[in-house]
Amino acid sequence: MAFDEGLAHRIRETLGDLPDLAEKRMFGGLAFLWHGNMLVGVRGDDLMVRVAPETTEDALAQPGARRFDMTGRPMKGWVVVDGSAVSEDEQLADWIDRARDFVEALPPK
């Protein structure tokens, strides 16, 4: 599956020179890992976002958000955001900040 190169570029710009950031092809798209933990990704035109499991329901209440479900078993702590819901840089930065808040507290891999 191809992924939105434009969205990937915007993620790179938003993340800037974040230390220990890596890109890896996963889930049929492109994932951005911070200290070895997945932070966000692009799959098709959509943004995959890792959030604290206890904030999943709040994240799902946001425009364009839905459960991350590739196998019929939704993953708690993960949401997919429709690409149209992150068309503005501020919207994208908001989701990336949510992910950073959670991933920052995880031990490096």
- 80 lies in some domain: yes
**Percent of residues, the chain, with pLDDT higher than 90:** 86
**DSSP characters for the chain?**
--B-HHHHHHHHHHHTT-TTEEEEEETTEEEEEETTEEEEEEEBTEEEEE--GGGHHHHHTSTTEEE--SSSSPPTTEEEE-GGGG-SHHHHHHHHHHHHHHHTTSPP-
Q: How far apart are CA 101 and CA 43, in angstroms?
A: 22
Q: How much is the average pLDDT of 84-108?
A: 97
Return the pLDDT at 1: 62
What is the tally of structural domains in the chain?
Answer: 1
- 84 lies in some domain: yes
Residue 67 has pLDDT above 90, yes or no: yes
pLDDT tens digits, one per residue of 11-45: 999 999 999 999 999 878 999 999 999 999 999 99
- 108 lies in some domain: no
Phi-psi region of 27 (alpha: psi -120 to 50; beta: other; left: phi over 0): left
* Residue range of the domain that includes 14: 5-103
CATH of the domain at 14: 3.90.1150.30
Return the pLDDT at 58: 95
- 10 lies in some domain: yes
- 32 lies in some domain: yes
Tokens coding 53: 């499991």
Residue 95 has pLDDT above 90, yes or no: yes
- 109 lies in some domain: no
